[in-house]
């Protein structure tokens, strides 16, 4: 049951001429108090936050002016992966090698890349849309990705352990133009685990033997293409209850896996979702009945892929988020009175 838990404690005033910019609002929550910021003041909200604070973002677009850097343990919580849009790139550069055990990014869209550029342990990303690369240029331990859409997941050598569940990924390894990802893969001990994911392209090799993506596990996943290389059989991935159109590589370990001819379908004009077509029926992100009728069931008893499980892929917000932004014009001062409501499930 949803319950409103907080009203903005103050009023935020801007000129009427700024009306278009105030529709997207940020609310900084600190010790039970709230302070609102306009869409173009998101960096200011981050600057005023302290470690452990949460910034709630309403629906709308927040322009990051290229790349916005977050240098403290602050969570960003949006109104939904298709509703709260951060236009630009986000860089997490938190000092002091922090351990973070909660969601840092929740229910929002980053139109470009997400980079982790300073060492940290623990990073949780839930119900987010990442329109370009997700990668780390410094050591990152315990990465958790839950119900996200990611265009290009770059499994760099810096990412020491990762769990990806109920997510939709277009490319793992290479970007859309076929160029290598910015940082080399870890050829051994990747410690990557994918469960209930829909993946369009998996490139399990790089430009040389040091760049091979190996030792990853995939359970209840569906692929259109798995491309492997013959670098002395180094692509040692493990696949359980998976479906692929191309097979799994000679050196990989498979259990109860299937190969099914299918065609990719990407509606780039709308949303770049990967989809898979069997006998004219969309599966993966779309109608899963084509899989259900063929008996492609995962270890959880539901069909493979991001939708076929008890906790399916979704970009809809849950938990605390900005639920309402009310704007009223004061006829005497010609100012806008902006009130934000924050609610939780």
DSSP 181: P
Please give the average per-residue pLDDT across 200-218, as a whole number.
Answer: 67
How high is the pLDDT of residue 190? 59
* Alpha helices per DSSP H over 227-339: 289-292
Q: How many angstroms separate the CA atoms of 172 and 222, rounded?
A: 13
Place 62 in a pLDDT band, splitting at 50, 70 and 90: very high
Over range 287-304, report the average pLDDT: 86
Asked whether 55 and 77 are in contact (CB, 8 A), the reply is: yes
* 8-state DSSP, 40: G
Distance between CA atoms of residues 183 and 191, nearest Å: 17
What is the per-residue pLDDT across 131-168, written as a single tens digit (0 to 9) for each? 988 988 898 999 999 999 998 888 777 888 899 999 99
The contacts of residue 12 (CB under 8 Å, 6+ apart) are 25, 36, 37, 38, 337, 338
- Supply 26's token pair: 């940020």
Which of 69-78, 98-107, 269-278 comes out lowest in average pLDDT? 269-278
Give the lowest-confidence range in 38-52, 208-222, 327-341: 327-341
Res 160: pLDDT: 83
Structure tokens of 186?
């870890």
Task: Give the contacts of 298 (CB within 8 A, at least 6 positions apart).
Answer: 196, 219, 220, 241, 304, 308, 309
Is 281 a residue whose pLDDT tops 60?
Answer: yes
Considering Cα of 132, then 71, then 343, then 40, what sign does the dihedral take? Answer: negative
Among 343, 342, 335, CA closest to 14? 335
Q: Is 70 exceeded by the pLDDT of residue 24?
A: yes
- Of 22-36, 65-79, 248-262, highest mean pLDDT: 65-79
Report domain extents, the chain. 154-314
């Amino acid at each position: 049951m949803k319950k409103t838990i907080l009203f903005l404690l103050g009023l935020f005033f801007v000129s009427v001429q700024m009306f278009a910019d105030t529709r997207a609002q940020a609310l900084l929550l600190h010790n039970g108090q709230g302070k609102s910021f306009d869409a173009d003041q998101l960096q200011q909200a981050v600057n005023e936050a302290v470690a452990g604070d949460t910034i709630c973002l309403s629906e709308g677009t927040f322009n990051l002016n290229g790349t916005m850097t977050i240098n403290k343990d602050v969570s960003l919580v949006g109104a939904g992966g298709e509703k709260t849009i951060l236009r630009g790139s986000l860089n997490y550069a938190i000092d002091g090698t922090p351990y973070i055990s909660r969601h840092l990014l929740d229910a929002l869209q980053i139109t470009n890349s997400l980079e982790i550029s300073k060492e940290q342990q623990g990073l949780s990303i839930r119900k987010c849309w990442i329109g370009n690369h997700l990668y780390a240029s410094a050591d990152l331990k315990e990465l958790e990705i839950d119900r996200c859409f990611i265009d290009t997941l770059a499994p760099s050598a810096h990412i020491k352990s990762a769990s990806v569940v109920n997510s939709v990924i277009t490319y793992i390894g290479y970007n859309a133009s076929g160029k290598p990802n910015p940082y080399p893969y870890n050829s051994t001990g990747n410690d990557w685990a994918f469960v209930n994911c829909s993946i369009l392209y998996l490139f399990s090799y790089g430009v040389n033997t040091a760049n091979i993506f190996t030792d990853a596990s995939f359970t209840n996943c569906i692929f259109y293409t798995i491309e492997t290389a013959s670098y002395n059989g180094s692509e040692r991935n493990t696949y359980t209850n998976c479906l692929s159109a191309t097979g799994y590589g000679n050196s990989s370990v498979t259990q109860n896996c299937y190969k099914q001819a299918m065609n990719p379908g990407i509606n780039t004009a709308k949303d770049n979702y990967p989809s898979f077509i069997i006998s004219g029926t969309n599966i993966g992100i779309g109608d899963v009945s084509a899989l259900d009728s063929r008996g492609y069931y995962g270890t959880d008893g539901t069909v493979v892929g991001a939708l076929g499980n008890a906790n399916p892929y979704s970009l809809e917000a849950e938990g605390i988020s900005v639920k309402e932004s009310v704007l009223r014009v004061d006829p005497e001062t010609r100012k806008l009175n902006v009130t934000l409501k924050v609610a939780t499930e």
